[in-house]
Structure 1
Amino acid sequence: MDKLQPLEEGIAHLTRMVEELSDIVARQEQEIVRLKSRVGMLLEREAEREVADGSSIPLADQRPPHW
């Protein structure tokens, strides 16, 4: 019996760590989805602004003024 107790404690510790890591990964996934959505909205907004400004070349493709 003395040999099993340290093994059981180790398994319990590892199980808790796996559950905690799983929760962290789930939260990170939600955050990534939220951030992707926000980046998409920002890209759309910038594209609309470029069209409204009448610029034929997207801002990201324009050369800086010092060139």
Structure 2
Amino acid sequence: MNALEEQIAHLTRTVDDLSDIVARQERELALLTRRAQMLMAREAEREAQGSGGVVVGDERPPHY
């Protein structure tokens, strides 16, 4: 009986630890998703303004 109680206690602690890890990963994923959306919106705005900043071939950058 004691062995079963020890095993249940160990499994309960493991489940709690895994739950904490999943909750932390969910928060990190939400943060990264918001950052990716922000960067995509910023890049779309930059492309809409026509200032992509890509140098093609022998073209000199505007500061030359």
TM-score interval w.r.t. the shorter chain?
0.7 to 0.9
Q: Number of matched residues?
A: 53
Identity %: 57
CA distances 1:9-40 after superposition (whole Å, capped 9, x unpaired)? 00000000000000000000000100000000
Output the amino acid matched with 1:7: L
Other-structure match for 2:37:
40
Q: Give the distance between the partners of 1:39 and 1:5, measured in 2 at CA.
A: 51
Runs of 4+, deviation exceeding 3 Å: none
Question: What's the Cα RMSD here?
Answer: 1.4
Q: Distance between the aligned counterparts of 2:40 and 2:51, measured in 1? A: 17
Cα offset for 1:54? Answer: 6.7
Q: Tell me the equivalent position of 1:8.
A: 5
- What TM-score, normalized by structure 2, do the two folds share? 0.78
- Which is richer in helix? 1
The corresponding residue for 1:23 is 20
Q: Which segments of 5 or more consecutive residues in structure 1 lack a partner in the other structure?
A: 56-64
| Residue aligning to 2:48 | 51
Between 1 and 2, higher relative CO (CA 8 Å, sep ≥ 6) is seen in 1
